[in-house]
Structure 1
Amino acid sequence: MEKKLGFGCMRLPLLNKEDQTSFDTDTLNKLVDTFLERGFTYFDTAYTYHGYHAEEAMRKALVERHPRASFQLATKLPLRDFKDSADMERIFNEQRTNCGVDFFDYYLLHNMGSNVYEKCRKYGAFDFVAKKKAAGKIKVVGMSFHDMPELLDEILSKYGDGLDFVQLQINYIDWEQPNVQSRRCLEIANKYNKPVIVMEPCKGGTLVNVPQEAEKLMKAYNPAASTASWALRFAASQQGVFRVLSGMNSMEQVEDNTSFMANFLPLNEEENAIIEKVTKIINEKTAVQCTACEYCTHGCPKNIPIPKYFALYNSIMRTTGSFSSQMVYYNNIAINHGKASECIGCKQCERACPQHLPITKYLNDVVEKFEKNSMIPIRK
């Protein structure tokens, strides 16, 4: 039976966290090798990941070092990036070169939502991937979806025949969140009998670094289980889910994830009850539900590192004491980046956000917390 865990390539190991293309090649090679040695085969990358260089990194770490039949490679057509029908062809051919493959095992329309849906219809994106599949350049076609269940229903009703699966953001925090609605989206996918791959099961690390009160509940039930294991098992336990992606950038993560996903066991009734309690605790202590995907920063006219500021904001909102260390981090970041107060309200970040967050509003909250007493001047 095919294993449910997939290797997500959105957060690969780096030598310099400030440089998304400074890949730690030695570590990445070891992670890939270990993942394969333990019987897992699925790797999920994308054209836009890591400053448009993740596909090349996976070619070097995976494709050039392992037999083609030993792995499954997925990548995605960037729906925000392509200009017209001809541009889709250009990007697809570039991706085959980037990845060093003749065909893709899985290929997705990337980040489908209301902001790109009409564009996809206008330029025939659904027909494009169908033709590539018919030509043998794609084995399995799908889409990653970040929007409301009503739109998912519309797309699957009109274009579902050409989609073999859907990729959804499913985790226990977003299960009932009104801006994501994981549960409802999964129900729509099941309604159309579309198998589901899960992305963001740990919500960008939020469900790994949970509040101490929540972690105590998990450890009391199973001291040996990591917080990540609870999140991945929750996602993998849902009806219709056949694979769960995890972005792994350390050997510790690979070893942990493969250990409990090798012979996957769904959550039992008692564990689900604990998840409900944990969800309540996290929701009470998390101000901004950001996954740090960084889609919002692409093209920001003021170069504002939005996810970094939100992470600092969440940190101080979880504490009741001094937040001097977070202030130091904020001021250090602001030396070479735009401050939150430099936002001009263009809202390109909000149109790009898969979580549909009111980013400009939250940036104002960041200003209130971090800039009132800051000595870093705003650049003109």
Structure 2
Amino acid sequence: MKKLGFGLMRLPVRSENPTDIDQETFNRMVDRFLEQGFTYFDTSYVYHNGASETAIREALVKRHERGSFVLASKFPTFMMPDEAQAEGIFHEQLEKCGVEFFDYYLLHNVNRYLYATEIQNARLFEHMKAWKEQGKIRHIAFSYHDDAAHLDQILTEHPEVEAVQIALNYYDWEEPFIQARKCYEVIRKHGAQVIVMEPVKGGMLARVPEDVAARMRQWNAAASPASYAIRFAASLEGVLVVLSGMSTLEQVEDNTSYMRDMKPLAEGERALLQDAKEAFCKTWKYNYEDFAALDENAYGVPISGILRAYNSLLIQPNPTFGAELNYYKSFRSAYDRAFEAGDYAKQTEAIGGAFDVNAALREAIAFETENSFQTYMD
């Protein structure tokens, strides 16, 4: 299977209403994607306020043979369903998509909190195993937004999991909140496949700083910055597919052009992406060469991660829709929340007054809390 997947969360729409999908345009996009030899489609119960699943039924399932595509969808774990609702939601999804089975079926947006509460209480993994035994799903999986340690725990306790979907790109490879490298390594340690989301970080990596863009053009004049980002993820061992949330036919043409016969990154290209990461970091609002100095504080809280996440959000095309907003509440749940109102004057001194840590941290915490996707958590 070719390693580019069609993510169905940013479909073309005819108005500001997310359910008003431009079906005719979407049909053409699906047809072109299949014509180029790509087969993986990724939807969810909640994408486009529920309209994504019905749109893929119309564009794909009704118009193409079932054996010609791989379809994945996701159970809305974060909607807090009780166990009595699980069967109804799952069969509603099968009906909306117009299929008798899903090739990959994922618990959506798993983290330490949802795993310890809703997933356990509703026995969702047990239901997943039963649906697989019934032939209604082919592969058990989940998407994940949390640290590598909790991912290791979940995979240890559930060896039936065959794939995990994570945010992975060259920018977040070593970032302390998203922990792309560490999570990737945990998944591979457990022998599971990796499904990559956010390879272009919400579009941010499609527009790199100009000095890096110029060097990319020197390396390959035909290659877009987005192509480097997607190839970074696709070059990793064990990656099943790299998802791209495409909204236009032009994006389908661009992405399929370099993924038809995907060439792994050369060492020089990897070095170029490291330079791109450093160039992005130079544009941060709150910057300091050694952020680790902030982590030596009276609360024992690695506050550098909070500020790095905030800096990263501010430079994304849509700061209130960044992946980092799936992490802060999980992160703070491990600590005494007194740290949020702490005094970090000593940390300001430790970084030579590069910025006011107290002001920066409060600003970051307010933004990451107010815009958090984790509305089910305190």
TM-score (norm 2): 0.77
Partner SS state of residue 73, structure 1: strand
8 A Cα contact 1:82 1:91, kept in partner: no
What's 1:361 paired with? 363
Alpha carbons of 1:195 and 1:287: their partners in 2 closer, same or farther (altered >3 Å)?
farther
What's 1:86 paired with? 84
Alpha carbons of 1:350 and 1:270: their partners in 2 closer, same or farther (altered >3 Å)?
closer
Note the 1:175-254 alignment, pairs <5 A: 175-254=173-252
Q: Distance in 1 between matches of 2:312 and 2:191?
A: 37
Deviation at 1:82, TM superposition (A): 4.0
CA shift digits 1:210-251 (9 cap, x unpaired): 222331221121111011100000001112212111111111
CA shift digits 1:35-58 (9 cap, x unpaired): 001111110000011112111111
- Verify: 1:10 aligned to 2:9, yes or no: yes
Which residue, 8, 15, 21 being the options, matches 2:19?
21
What's 1:373 paired with? none
Q: Distance in 2 between matches of 1:122 and 1:315?
A: 36
CA shift digits 1:267-326 (9 cap, x unpaired): 0110001010001111222559xxxxxxxxxxxxxxxxxxxxx9995489xxxxxxxxxx
8 A Cα contact 2:106 2:141, kept in partner: yes
Q: Distance in 2 between matches of 1:214 and 1:355?
A: 29
Partner SS state of residue 35, structure 1: helix
Q: Distance in 2 between matches of 1:350 and 1:22?
A: 23
Q: Distance in 1 between matches of 2:135 and 2:34?
A: 25
Structure 2 residue runs without a partner (length 5+): 287-310, 333-360, 369-378
Note the 1:299-314 alignment, pairs <5 A: 314=315
CA shift digits 1:152-177 (9 cap, x unpaired): 000011112x1111111110011001
In the alignment of these two chains, the number of paired residues is: 314
CA shift digits 1:321-358 (9 cap, x unpaired): xxxxxxxxxxxxxxxxxxx9xxxxxxxx9999324389
Structure 1 residue runs without a partner (length 5+): 289-309, 317-339, 341-348, 367-380
Note the 1:1-380 alignment, pairs <5 A: 2-16=1-15, 18-118=16-116, 119-160=118-159, 162-286=160-284, 314=315, 353-356=325-328, 361-362=363-364
Alpha carbons of 1:208 and 1:354: their partners in 2 closer, same or farther (altered >3 Å)?
same
Partner SS state of residue 168, structure 1: strand
The one-letter code of the counterpart of 1:86 is A
Partner SS state of residue 166, structure 1: strand
The one-letter code of the counterpart of 1:138 is I
Alpha carbons of 1:254 and 1:287: their partners in 2 closer, same or farther (altered >3 Å)?
farther
Q: Distance in 2 between matches of 1:166 and 1:83?
A: 21
Alpha carbons of 1:38 and 1:351: their partners in 2 closer, same or farther (altered >3 Å)?
closer
8 A Cα contact 1:115 1:351, kept in partner: no
Q: Distance in 2 between matches of 1:177 and 1:352?
A: 10
Instruction: Out of 208-217 and 249-258, give the one that drifted further.
Output: 208-217
Q: Distance in 2 between matches of 1:313 and 1:241?
A: 29
8 A Cα contact 2:83 2:123, kept in partner: yes
Q: Distance in 2 between matches of 1:59 and 1:222?
A: 38
TM-score (norm 1): 0.77
Alpha carbons of 1:69 and 1:179: their partners in 2 closer, same or farther (altered >3 Å)?
same
Percent of paired sites with the same residue: 44
The one-letter code of the counterpart of 2:127 is F
Root-mean-square deviation (CA, aligned residues, Å) is 2.9
